[in-house]
Structure 1
């Protein structure tokens, strides 16, 4: 992988491969989940485990929702079944295909758009009431454009619900971590493209490659874009993750675009 690697193209192909492999985040929800959502019984995640508080959403019925870099047949169909008008923007055609399968199976209406989370020019200003952005901004090299674009496409009073990684999770030696030893090895700014050796990158195989973004860019980037952060929680990784014994490596925020004066 060279320094001028096309990050978007590489990770698009990598996520398409994850769909073929049946990665956790590519498995569509079953018809029973959609049936429950139609009855008002539903929950979704922004981070690996914790359900997002229902009060973060308000009433979804009739709302315009953008699932930003959030395809895979999981959250978007649930929102549609709960009564929202849902658009999904994602970099991976195969991931978008998972949403299409659920929509066709369960008679849901979803608008599917292939694109870059940093560029929402396909949507006019003030197009959405809610932007739902699960952990995915580690797959692009810069995230402040993501926050600025989310702010632009939201209506005043609309909310951005975002999940992201604490950058510290990328900085430990993965070989030692597998042995139960936590030792810092890498520094910020961190990138799988530039921080790892060719041998280290080879261990990732065909998986997507990541960037670690500072909390200044994750949290400060939202407030600099104009958002007011009104909700916050932390979450841990899947069971068996050694680092989760020491800290919560994932963060979720609710941020609101202020009403126009």
Structure 2
């Protein structure tokens, strides 16, 4: 099956269903951002440290696989020239809705996060990539393309999943039992039972991939980026693993040379 098409359609369905990651920020949040009072998240609960951001005024910012009206409108209100890039047209519509509602200048582009050929080399000063490469079959092209379109000295901030979450049997975990079943890298498309996979497809659930930490971190380094920041986060009590380990990771990386 075409994973890209399925996940794009599934996220359109998530918008229609009111998934929390598809709801635009409020007009009040945008107004406060205009006053310099703002923050964004890459992971479920922990705000990105303020020191990870450059001076946003007139900076060219790419919100990569970041539709939903959550990061883009805030950064635009803070003074950045924002482009939101996503494969789900309805997620992008959420950004346009917030921009029209609040009088923001913001561009949306539909496409695959692993193919940024619509952008020239060194187009952006800053890239924001929240937890979304979990929906990409291969993340190495994502890092390479992000590095290519980033200016020398520019910054990429990214959130992603600790692959540990994918080693457990899904159905057993839903019953509160941790049964180690899968290896990493993981893919719903190959590791779920046929019955479970068909159910996820039928219910328009996005299909996920558990990438290795080597691909997530060394992948950025091999793309020409230098890791300069790191933190962890949890799922806000929504994961059975929350009492034991933080399952989300965020990194800050800088492109040191062309």
Could you say if the C-alpha distance between residues 188 and 226 of structure 1 is closer, same or farther in structure 2, counting changes exceeding 3 Å?
A: same
> In the alignment, is the contact (CA less than 8 A) between 2:61 and 2:127 conserved in 1?
yes
**Mapping for residues 133-172 of structure 1, pairs under 5 Å:** 133-172=129-168
Give per-residue Cα distances to partners, 1:172-227, cap 9 Å, x unaligned.
12222222221211122210001111112244322100111100100010000111
For 1:1-261, what aligned pairs fall within 5 Å after superposition? 5-204=1-200, 205-259=203-257
Alpha-carbon separation, structure 2, partners of 1:158 and 1:11: 29
Instruction: For residue 230 of structure 1, give the secondary structure of its aligned residue in structure 2.
Output: strand
Helix, strand or coil at the partner of 1:194: helix
Superposed CA offset, 1:123-144 (max 9, x none): 0011000010000001110001
1:242 partner SS: coil
Deviation at 1:106, TM superposition (A): 0.3
Moved more, 201-210 or 151-160: 201-210
Give TM-score scaled by structure 1 length.
0.96
Aligned length: 256
CA distance in 2, matches of 1:240, 1:78: 25
Q: Is the 8 A contact 1:65 1:128 kept in 2?
A: yes
In structure 2, what is the Cα distance between the partners aligned to 1:118 and 1:255? Answer: 18
Distance 1:212 1:165 in 2: 7
Secondary structure of the corresponding residue to residue 121 of structure 1: coil
8 Å CA contact retained: 1:73, 1:102: yes
Aligned-partner Cα distance in 1 for 2:242–2:216: 21
List structure 1 segments (4+ residues) > 4 angstroms apart after TM superposition.
Answer: none
Task: Decide which moves more: 174-183 or 120-129.
Answer: 174-183
**Residues 39-94 of structure 1: per-residue CA shift (max 9 Å, x gap):** 00001100111000011002111100000000101100000000000001100000
Q: Is there any run of 5+ residues in structure 1 with no aligned partner, and where?
A: none
